């Protein structure tokens, strides 16, 4: 047992170091995790024999639980909402179309049987959230026209549909019958949605309306609820991954206690889950068997990248009048990765056999997809002029902490003020505040204890930052041309009694507003709720 624990520790440490190596050479870190697993595997240096797909399925299923939950939990719905219809269209109809086109290509061009073609199409039909998130965030790759949010929501929410198709394919190949498919789809969708929402509401009730959770145990409670959501949905044959994603969406976009502690905790758990899955995938692989798989894997990658994905994106995005540049970028960003490999492991563990090695086909496709498409994604985005250098992709995630300039405060001294004609050291400053500068006419004076304050001075104070509680938050609202607030004074707006416009950002200038402040197109309004 001690040897196994040491081995696991070595794998994790190597993956942590490998991520730094990957960043240096511009290679997606997830590939390095695969190579670490291969290093320990049967054909690697350490030659650890491991081909237990049943055990691998159990481990990967638990790891994927936290990846799916955090995909929803970390999606900022206020940013994703404007593109949600596009993203969900891609994550549902897009998965079905991709699977269908891939099935046809594998059957009639690559000569596989219909059932084998459908299984490959199902397993490879989803875009991998771990790969997409990692590249967008590591490269700080913010994309124009909401493309980043489309990819985030699509890749985070399309695994449930791919999982459902995989289970259908496994069921058909196992029994050879299509009788139970309709019932399977119904149970997967209905129970998946129902349990996800019910578990989220139950969790919110316990966390916000009761005192059942002792201080410091919020993370443990949330882990238990995530696992319970997965377990209950699986027992009643619902789509557990759909349930987890919805559960994460609801919880992540609600006001809950200690949310800022939960985010980094689950971020770490998700990173560990990704290391676990990709290194385990590498451990399961046999590089000596790959040369005979490479031609077919490359052909499938080409079919997905050049035919299936672009055709799906252009057809489904046409009604939304998306630009060609946006469609081309979304097409290229359809990375295959961990989820496809996990679904392949599930199929093999269920006893499904093919003339070709399913796991190694999917492994090679995922490896080529992440290595080629993932590495070139920033370059393609630049060439298509889809990179928005004035924005920050981190703002599309719930773990983004707003930077604020409210830590500096300006205090105007009018005639007759009780600080007039007094020295800095003789006045009573607000607790924790420090006078750092006086703006006097066109002069900037660095203050000292004996600096004299005069009428008309603007004193710049450094004040301690305030962290809102779970019931308070700062939000940004960008004023668009058709916004109801555009070209109106703040005093004319119907704001709630608990809402305050704290700042207006306009052309790089921070404006402290009053009731007569006009709001114009492209203003960024900072709301305090």
Ordered DSSP codes for 371-412: IIIIHHHHHHHHHTT-B-TTS-GGGGBTTPPPP-STTEEEEE
Residues 182-203, mean pLDDT to the nearest whole number: 87
pLDDT at 401 over 50: no
Q: Whose CA is closest to 180, among 164, 198, 159, 191? A: 164
Report the alpha-carbon distance of residue 143 to residue 151 in Å, rounded: 10
Q: How many CB atoms lie within 10 A of CB 380?
A: 15
Whether 485 is covered by a domain: the verdict is yes
Q: Which 3 state secondary structure label does DSSP give 131?
A: helix
Q: Which residue has the tokens 């299923």?
A: 61
143 and 388 Cβ atoms separated by less than 8 Å: yes
Same domain, 416 and 358: no
Whether 400 is covered by a domain: the verdict is no
Same domain, 316 and 205: yes
**What does DSSP assign to residue 64?**
H
Same domain, 333 and 297: yes
105 and 124 Cβ atoms separated by less than 8 Å: no
Same domain, 245 and 372: yes
Quick one: pLDDT band at residue 180, thresholds 50, 70, 90? low
Same domain, 366 and 419: no
Domain count, the chain: 3
Looking at 371, 395, 419, the residue that finishes a domain is 395
CA distances from 462 to 175, 211, 408 (A): 71, 37, 5
Same domain, 199 and 321: yes
Same domain, 136 and 195: yes
End-to-end Cα distance, the chain = 53
**What does DSSP assign to residue 492?**
G
Q: How many CB atoms lie within 10 A of CB 289?
A: 13
Q: Whose CA is closest to 78, among 288, 255, 290? A: 255
Q: What's the pLDDT score for residue 118?
A: 93
Handedness of CA 490, 491, 495, 500 (dihedral sign): positive
Same domain, 486 and 458: no
Write out the residue range of the structural domain in which residue 519 sits: 474-528
Top pLDDT among 175 and 189 is at 189
pLDDT, one tens digit per residue, over 277-304 is 888 888 888 888 888 888 999 999 999 9
Same domain, 426 and 359: no
Token code pair at residue 333 = 């960003």
Lowest mean pLDDT among 23-32, 360-369, 383-392: 23-32
**Full 3-state SS string of 330-353:** HHHCCCCCHHHHHHHHHHHHCCCC
- The residue count of the chain comes to 529
Q: How many CB atoms lie within 10 A of CB 61?
A: 18
Looking at 438, 462, 486, the residue that finishes a domain is 462
Same domain, 233 and 305: yes
Token code pair at residue 46 = 């350490």
Top pLDDT among 257 and 332 is at 332
The mean of the pLDDT values for the chain is 83
pLDDT, one tens digit per residue, over 139-153 is 667 788 778 888 888
Lowest mean pLDDT among 231-235, 259-263, 306-310, 320-324: 259-263
**What does DSSP assign to residue 423?**
B
Q: What's the pLDDT score for residue 222?
A: 92
Quick one: pLDDT band at residue 350, thresholds 50, 70, 90? confident
Lowest mean pLDDT among 194-208, 239-253, 319-333, 405-419: 405-419
Q: What's the pLDDT score for residue 469?
A: 53
327 and 314 Cβ atoms separated by less than 8 Å: yes
Whether 44 is covered by a domain: the verdict is no
**What does DSSP assign to residue 308?**
I
pLDDT, one tens digit per residue, over 77-92 is 777 788 889 989 999 9
Largest Cα separation within the chain, whole Å, is 93
């Amino acid at each position: 047992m001690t040897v196994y624990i040491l081995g696991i520790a070595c794998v994790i440490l190597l993956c942590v170091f490998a991520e730094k190596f990957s960043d240096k050479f511009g290679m997606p870190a997830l590939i390095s995790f695969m190579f670490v697993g291969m290093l320990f595997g049967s054909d690697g240096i350490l030659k650890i024999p491991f081909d237990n797909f049943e055990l691998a399925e159990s481990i990967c299923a638990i790891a994927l639980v936290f990846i799916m939950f955090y995909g929803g939990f970390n999606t900022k719905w206020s940013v994703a909402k404007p593109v949600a219809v596009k993203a969900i269209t891609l994550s549902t109809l897009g998965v079905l179309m991709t699977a269908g086109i891939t099935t046809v290509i594998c059957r009639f061009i690559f000569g596989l049987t219909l059932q084998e073609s459908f299984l490959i199409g199902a397993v490879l039909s989803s875009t991998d959230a771990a790969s997409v998130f990692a590249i967008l965030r590591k490269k700080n790759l913010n994309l124009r026209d909401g493309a980043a949010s489309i990819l985030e929501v699509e890749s985070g929410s399309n695994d449930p549909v791919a999982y459902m198709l995989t289970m259908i394919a496994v069921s058909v190949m196992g029994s050879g019958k299509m009788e139970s498919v309709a019932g399977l789809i119904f149970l997967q969708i209905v129970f998946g949605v129902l349990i996800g929402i019910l578990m989220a509401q139950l969790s919110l009730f316990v966390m916000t309306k009761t005192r059942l959770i002792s201080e410091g145990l919020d993370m443990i409670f949330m882990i238990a609820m995530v696992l319970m959501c997965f377990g209950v949905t699986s027992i009643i044959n619902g789509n557990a991954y759909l349930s987890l994603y919805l559960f994460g969406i609801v919880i992540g976009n609600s006001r809950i206690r200690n949310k800022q502690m939960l985010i980094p905790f689950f971020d770490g758990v998700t990173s560990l889950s990704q290391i676990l899955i990709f290194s385990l995938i590498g451990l399961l692989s046999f590089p000596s068997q790959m040369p005979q798989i490479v031609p077919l894997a490359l052909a499938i990658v080409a079919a997905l990248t050049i035919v299936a994905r672009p055709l799906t994106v252009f057809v489904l995005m046409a009604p939304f009048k998306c630009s060609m540049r946006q469609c081309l970028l979304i097409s290229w960003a359809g990375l295959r990765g961990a989820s496809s490999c996990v679904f392949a492991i599930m199929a093999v563990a269920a006893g499904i056999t093919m003339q070709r090695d399913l796991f190694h086909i999917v492994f090679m496709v995922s490896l080529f997809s992440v290595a080629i498409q993932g590495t070139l994604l920033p370059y393609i985005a630049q060439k298509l002029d889809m990179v928005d250098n004035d924005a920050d992709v981190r703002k599309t995630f719930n773990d983004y902490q707003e930077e604020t300039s409210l830590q500096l405060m300006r205090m105007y001294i009018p005639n007759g003020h009780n600080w007039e004609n007094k020295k800095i050291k003789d006045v009573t400053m607000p607790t924790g505040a420090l006078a750092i500068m006086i703006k006097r006419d066109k002069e900037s004076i660095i203050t000292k204890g004996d600096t004299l304050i005069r009428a008309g001075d603007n004193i710049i104070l450094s004040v301690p930052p305030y962290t809102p509680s779970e019931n308070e938050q700062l939000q940004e609202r960008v004023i668009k041309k058709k916004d109801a607030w555009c070209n109106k004074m703040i005093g004319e707006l119907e704001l709630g009694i608990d809402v305050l416009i704290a700042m207006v950002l306009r052309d790089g200038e921070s404006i402290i507003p009053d009731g007569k402040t006009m709001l114009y197109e492209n203003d960024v309004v900072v709301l305090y709720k």
